[in-house]
Amino acid sequence: MTIWEINPDPDVDPSLPLLPLRGEVTTETAKDLIRSGKGTHCGECGKPFTLARKRRGVGRVRHLDAAGRLYSTSWIFCGRCHAAMQHNGGKVSEKLVEESRQAVKAAQLALCPARGNA
């Protein structure tokens, strides 16, 4: 039997996903993504960050489920993808919104107290 357990990272401020992405919040979100190992590739194009391709922006999608729980998914973008996002009014692409929805479904499944034999 697999037991799922969700533990918040003690190094991350729990209010970080609630704050708007401006100034120091953006910097802290990017640091958190890099520290977790998720900030090595661009969230949109998937290309690795190098000396030529630098981290230029952070994007976030939030979802609220029926129980009132807030789920937040964040990405770091390269310069080209960040410029495209800004050109789109600061909105992330539909591909990333769908990825965020799938992450929410996975998190909800992990939170379910399922028991029994399959």
Provide the token pair at 15. 């209010």
User: Given pLDDT bands bounded at 50, 70 and 90, which one contains residue 48?
Assistant: very high
Q: What is the mean pLDDT of residues 28-52?
A: 87
Residue 31 and residue 12 in contact, taking contact as beta carbons nearer than 8 Å: no
Which range, of 7-16, 25-34, 72-81, averages the lowest pLDDT? 7-16
Question: Between 113 and 93, where is the model more confident?
Answer: 93
19: closest CA among 9, 10, 11, 27? 27
Say what the pLDDT of residue 15 is: 65
In the predicted model, is pLDDT for residue 9 greater than 80? no
Sequence spans of domains, the chain: 18-111
pTM greater than 0.75: no
What is the per-residue pLDDT for 18?
A: 65
Tell me the per-residue pLDDT of 58-92, one tens digit each, with 9 for 90 and over.
Answer: 988 888 887 778 888 888 999 999 999 999 888 88
The CA–CA distances, whole Å, from 17 to 8, 56, 70, 87, 100 equal: 12, 19, 9, 24, 14
> How many CB atoms are located within 10 Å of the residue 12 CB?
15
pLDDT at 42: 92
Sign of CA dihedral 11, 85, 108, 38: negative
Eight-class DSSP state of 62? E
